[in-house]
Structure 1
């Protein structure tokens, strides 16, 4: 029982006993008064009736005696009237049935009022003729006493209710600081720190609140320092101090991780000779020029989800554009070149960009050789200083792909596979992550990585997310019991109508929501934080799990994780894949995992492909893992005939 209820019960019990005692005394006084009143009425009636009967006794007039008895019996509250003559067997009697008129039997059975009986001798002078016996009728007294009891009970109930309300309000006001302490304690447990609690006037509670406020402030400082430490470790290991971009080490990790994930997109090298010329100037001026160029390129890439921009050397930068089409990449790279030329217009030096289209896995060395070749072509071709090497068949198949995607989305021809996410140690299943593939009439299965950029380019991403959610929820209705998670695209979060649509879907499938979850990437959160926070609030109302993917990929503070409060996060694959190859990175990874775990958020590793990597995880406090150590398996397929619609 809560402290509030204990105090309320104690106060209510004390007040109830006091009030019940006072009301009982009042009720008992009323009972005694009615008993005395009943006795007095009988005594008065006996005297009056004796006087009325006396003239009819000598000479004896039976008819008049009987008339007097009837008159008194009909006009008063008497149960029995009897006249008995001495020395004779003559007697007259009038009886009336006792009717309590609405007084319950249990109340009558309490015998709160005595039965009043009075006998008087009928005489004339010294001569005694007989005896008059009167037994009172308690019906009226019981009715009066019952009405008094009901009124007192009503007052008792009303006063009790009033006392409960007043006591509850008073106790709540007194205990408000304790409620705030409980709320703040829950937030502290989750590493959420709001405004400090207002100090109460009660001295005992004031000292407690001061201690809680100081503890919250200290924990906030500790978390901020922990976040800063892991950020510093990450900057030292993976960030170029001059440009603020990722360094070559970070680039190699990201490129290797991307190439192992069914890559589809563009990799580019950007050469800025103007920065080399500035090597003849002061280091300060050169560093300022590098910082300006880096900031400019970051701004141009801000709208590209999952883009990775790194500085590889003095005048060389690398750019990974996952999911971007050839046309999208060419337009972006040409804008990059034009902006850089304008920035360094005074040097009159060119900007060379070499890129290659990647649509299959490969080694880092092989891909870098292709990109370097494209860069050399850009340097040797003054008319085309932005070179993108690609297979000519890719361009020819572009329009065909768009048509096929539109038809597949329209018909709902989607297939899903699932990959388990398990806890370390007991290997308990956390959930399955679902991977979508579009099915075409010719039997081709196209993975999501191959078409998501095209969907976004042609504004089909939102429709695809809605289709996937509807199909998965419908499948869970048919076969519940498997916890599954779907990835959301940035297009859905940018849509103001998506959350309203999602709320309606969740309302229609309440029974299966414990088995359903959504997740999105870190980049999506950073660029759509308000929308993601609103989405998380909606999902929590319906008990739907939410997770973040690729956490740690960007050079951003973990405060966004604290604000979003996901149920779990997945550390970027580039870090987990390098555990075995680069044990020296363990300091940063340990700090990152510890910072997130301090928020009571589950931390998962991804792309775990062998037992060696799995063994390494136990040293870094990961909660669970996912990867090709457990191969994806079919979940369900929604293959429809041509012309049908989902």
Structure 2
């Protein structure tokens, strides 16, 4: 029971007790007063009637006596009158039943008034003529008492209603700071640190609210410190200090993570010898400023073509990693890169297309990190040797389909739900138990089985993401996978679905109609959070309100603040695979530990991905992660 209800109940009880006490006193006083009044009336009537009957009795007039008694008796205030003649022993009796108008019979049956009788002897001088016995009728008492009780009940009811309304309004106003405090305390327990509460006027509550505001501010500062620690460690270990771009170590880890997942794209290695000329002409300060401006221009212009990772891996060498793009998009990216660099070369007073070389290595099939870096470096060396701006190894692997063929095949597969599924278990670190399974889809076209990395770039390119997500969710549900599997099933959402309000409405209806919504997880890539936080918040609210779960995939990949965790409140985060491939040293362990602390400080489950072997897992277990995923426990086919 809430404090408001407890105080309200106490006041309610005290008010009832007071009313009951007042009512009892009033009832007792009224009852006693009416009894005395009836007794007094009875005495007066007995004396008056005795005096009136004396002459009649002396004359032995029976009819006269009866007439006089009837005059008194018909007034209705007497229950019985008994006249006994002492001469001859004759007795006359008049009776009146106890009936009272406008008074319920149950009230009369309570016998609240005792029988009042008055017996007198009528005399004439020394001669006794008769005895007169009058019994009072309680009707007057019951009638008056009932009327008074009725008025009191009505009055007290009105007062009671006014009192409870005033008490409710007054208590709500007085306890409003406590209610605000309760809401604020719940938010603090959920690691949500909002603005300070207003200070109430009540002294005790004022001290309590100030204490909570102080505690909230301190906890918020702790979270901000963890967030700043992550940023500082990233800047120290993974960021080039001159350009502000990621360094070689980060790029290698990203390439490693990229190659461990099904995907497409290319790696560009760029050597800019013209920066050495800038250095020799104007000094290192101008050179560093030129590199900084160049980095800003590259990030701005290249992101307009496709999202990518740009890193400075040596004094005059840069690397560009473009993921999930087909060959045509990669070509546009290369053209934009050449234009952007040439503009900066011209501004520096150097000649365009000179002292500037690019080597392009496109991902083909299964490749290792060393294969990819070697191919890109070979292409760069060939570009330098030939004196050309770029060299791109010819792709000898024939494209599976044209864009229109991809459109036709994907539309057909989505319409007819032709996708196949595999899933990979996610194991808890504390015990040998599966906490959830991540779902992957495949597509069979003819004799060829295509994994997601082969067709997902075309799904995004052809804007089929929302249709695909709906298809996959409906297919899994139709095969009762959520019902048959006790562990939660995680489904990755595409960028298009995350920003599609129509998909949000459809998902809301689907989850509300599904009895096993609590077994469904949706994974949102961290890049979507940074690019469209509002859409992510709306989608996460739909998922949370429907009883389903969601997590952030590739957590820690982006260089930005972790403050979004407070607004989204995910059930879990998945550390980016690139973190599993960062060289094991003290600084990188501190970075991973800081990321884990940020999430766990908000009571969010942490899952490490990209685990290939037990020794690799040991390093993360020491960081207190909750679960792990990787080819240490490979994916298996789903039996539909």
Q: TM-score, normalised by structure 1?
A: 0.87
SS of structure 2 residue aligned to 1:30? helix
Change (3 A) 1:28 1:478: same
Distance (whole Å) between structure 2 residues aligned to residue 606 and residue 385 of structure 1? 35
Aligned position for 1:542: 546
**Please, which of 364, 369, 374 is the counterpart of residue 369 of structure 2?**
364
How far apart in 2 are the matches of 1:435 and 1:104?
A: 82
- Structure 2: distance between partners of 1:614 and 1:393: 39
The answer for the alignment partner of 1:644 in structure 2 is none
Equivalent position of 2:422 in the other structure: 417
Does residue 344 (structure 1) correspond to residue 317 (structure 2)? The answer is no
Other-structure match for 2:201: 201
Q: Which SS does the other structure have where 2:399 is aligned?
A: helix
Equivalent in the alignment of 2:270: 270
Q: Bigger shift: 258-267 or 206-215?
A: 206-215
Cα distance in 1 for partners of 2:65, 2:334 equals 130
Q: State which drifts further: 148-157 or 556-565.
A: 148-157
Deviates more, 1:193-202 or 1:256-265: 193-202
Aligned position for 2:451: 447
Output aligned runs, 1:566-645, within 5 Å. 566-578=570-582, 581-582=584-585, 585-635=588-638, 637=640
Residues 84 and 91 in structure 2, CA contact (< 8 A), matched pair in contact too: yes
Structure 1 gaps of 5+ residues are 638-646
CA distance in 1, matches of 2:244, 2:272: 17
**How far apart, in 1, do the equivalents of 2:182 and 2:337 lie?**
53
Q: Superposition pairs for residues 2-17 of structure 1, below 5 Å?
A: 2-17=2-17
Aligned equivalents of 2:449 and 2:61: distance in 1? Answer: 124
| Separation in structure 1 between the aligned mates of residue 617 and residue 225 of structure 2, nearest angstrom | 30
Residue in 2 aligned with 1:221? 221
Q: Indicate the residue corresponding to 2:522 in structure 1.
A: 518
Give yes or no for contact 1:103–1:143 (8 Å, CA) kept in 2: no
Asked whether the 8 Å contact 2:423–2:438 carries over to 1, the reply is yes
Q: CA deviation at 1:526?
A: 0.5
1:610 CA displacement: 2.6
Q: What is the 5 A alignment of 1:265-344?
A: 265-280=265-280, 281-302=282-303, 307-344=308-345
Alignment of 1:464-483 (within 5 A): 464-473=468-477, 475=480, 478-479=483-484, 481-483=486-488
Rounded to whole Å, the distance in 2 between the matches of 1:268 and 1:150 is 96
Q: CA deviation at 1:237?
A: 1.3
Give the structure 1 partner of residue 407 of structure 2.
402
1:36 is displaced (CA, Å) by 3.1
Q: Deviations over 1:458-492 (max 9, x none)?
A: 11101112233334455367547432222222111
Q: Alignment partner of 2:630: what SS?
A: coil
SS of the equivalent of 1:356 reads strand
Deviates more, 1:518-527 or 1:200-209: 200-209
Does structure 2 retain, via aligned residues, the 8 Å contact 1:81–1:95? no
Answer whether contact 1:73 1:96 (CA < 8 A) is retained. no
User: Contact 1:273/1:349 (CA < 8 Å) preserved in 2?
Assistant: no
Q: What SS does the corresponding residue of 2:245 show, helix, strand or coil?
A: coil
The answer for the alignment partner of 1:427 in structure 2 is: 432
Corresponding residue for residue 509 of structure 2:
504
Q: CA deviation at 1:259?
A: 0.8
1:332 Cα offset (Å): 2.6
Give 1:250 shift: 0.6
State the shift of 1:174 in Å: 3.8
Q: Is the 8 A contact 2:122 2:129 kept in 1?
A: yes
- Comparing 86-95 with 275-284, greater Cα deviation is found at 86-95
Q: Size of the alignment, in residue pairs?
A: 633
Residues 582 and 134 (structure 1), Cα distance of their counterparts in 2 relative to 1, 3 Å cut: same
Distance change (3 Å), C-alpha of 1:575 and 1:478:
closer
- In structure 2, how many angstroms separate the alpha carbons of the residues matched to 1:400 and 1:239? 42
Q: Judge which range, 392-401 or 245-254, deviates more.
A: 392-401
> Kindly tell me: are residues 68 and 507 of structure 1, through their superposed partners in 2, closer, same or farther at Cα, counting changes over 3 Å?
farther
CA gap of 1:149–1:434, structure 2 versus 1, over 3 A, is: farther
The TM-score with structure 2 as length reference comes to 0.88
Counterpart Cα distance in 2 of 1:266 and 1:125: 142
Q: For residue 501 of structure 2, give the secondary structure of its aligned residue in structure 1.
A: coil
User: Unpaired runs of 5+ in structure 2?
Assistant: none
1:642 equivalent in structure 2: none
Task: Please report how far the alpha carbon of residue 403 of structure 1 lies from its aligned counterpart in structure 2 after TM superposition.
Answer: 1.3
Shift of 1:498: 2.7
C-alpha displacement of 1:394 = 1.2
Confirm or deny: 8 A CA contact 1:257 1:574 kept in the other structure.
yes
> 450, 457, 461: which one pairs with 2:461?
457
- State the Cα distance separating 1:572 from its structure 2 match: 0.8
What are the superposed Cα offsets for residues 309-337 of structure 1, whole Å, 9 maximum, x if unpaired?
22222332222222212222222332232
Give the CA deviation at 1:547: 1.0
Q: Contact 2:482 / 2:520 at 8 angstroms: preserved in 1? A: no
Aligned mates of 2:303, 2:48 — CA distance in 1: 112
Deviations 1:10-53 (A, max 9, x none): 44444443443333333333333333343344445545665776
CA distance in structure 1 between the partners assigned to 2:110 and 2:212 by the alignment: 58
